[in-house]
Amino acid sequence: RCFHDHALMAGLNWLDKNWDAHDLGIPRHGKVSWTALFTDLISGNRRLHDIPLSDISAAQGDLEHLTLMQILRIRVLNLGSVLLGKGPSKLQQFMQALDRLLLQTIGWAVSASTFGPLNEDAQDRLGRDVAIVSAAAATLQEPRWWVCFAAHHRIWFDPTSFKVSPIFPGGMGVLEIEDHSKVDPHSVGQRCLLDWEVCLVVSEHDVSLKRLCLHNPRVPSTTRPRELTLEEFPY
């Protein structure tokens, strides 16, 4: 067991290291007003705790104009100094906005080309699952495929190659999560203890339906496994 935010940070760090961030620069004539500030944050020349709170608050509106890779890099470079939306109020608001946008965009990148747009809550949940599964996959390397859920859709996700498929992968089977996580009683409701039981499933019929609504249609099984590219990311 570990804290949910620690596992999430480990997953975001893994994604940042394994995705090919070919261009993190901010266009000079783009929509970002605080170009110098975000350039320093992305490069690591400055950390969030080095920036005046008034500047952080003023720059928050620019987050939606950054790419997924830029937001991810800022988050990873500030993992130790800011814990997932905790700190002074203006910094907390900035981090909550950044975390929400980051996780929703990861969820969008995984699901949009297969299922179309999801609501923001579903994107956030899927983004969290993808990040934590990516952290777990660094240790549990075989089989490569995991069960993830996008709203009422069940998908198969390979974090090592960032492939997504609605078709049950053959071969060694998939890893399924039985989630027993709960709020840490010593954190006054602020932190969650991550408690995942990971099971090997060799047949699609043995995959649990707990996180699916049974009255929804099944995921279509005509799409081949595909690999997402950075060009498909929405930001």
Residues 6+ apart with CB under 8 A from 37: 46, 51, 55, 59
Residues 6+ apart with CB under 8 A from 26: 32, 35, 38, 39, 42, 66, 70
Q: Which of 228, 164, 158, 171 is nearest to 204 (CA)?
A: 171
Residue 109 lies in a domain: yes
Q: Domain range for residue 119?
A: 3-212
Residue 142 lies in a domain: yes
Residue 12 lies in a domain: yes
Residue 227 lies in a domain: no
Query: How does DSSP assign 77-141, residue by residue?
Result: HTTTTS-SS-SSHHHHHHHHHHHHHHHHHHHHHHHHHHH----HHHHHHHHHHHHHHHHHHTT--
pTM: 0.77
How many structural domains compose the chain?
1
Residue 229 lies in a domain: no
Residue 98 lies in a domain: yes
Residue 192 lies in a domain: yes
pLDDT in tens, the chain (235 residues): 577 777 888 889 988 888 866 667 777 667 889 999 999 999 999 998 889 999 999 999 999 999 999 999 999 998 765 554 455 678 888 988 999 999 999 988 887 767 767 788 888 888 988 998 888 888 887 888 988 887 777 888 888 888 888 788 877 888 888 777 777 676 665 677 777 778 888 888 877 766 554 334 443 433 344 444 444 433 3
Task: Report the distance separating Cα 191 and Cα 188, nearest Å.
Answer: 8
Residue 226 lies in a domain: no
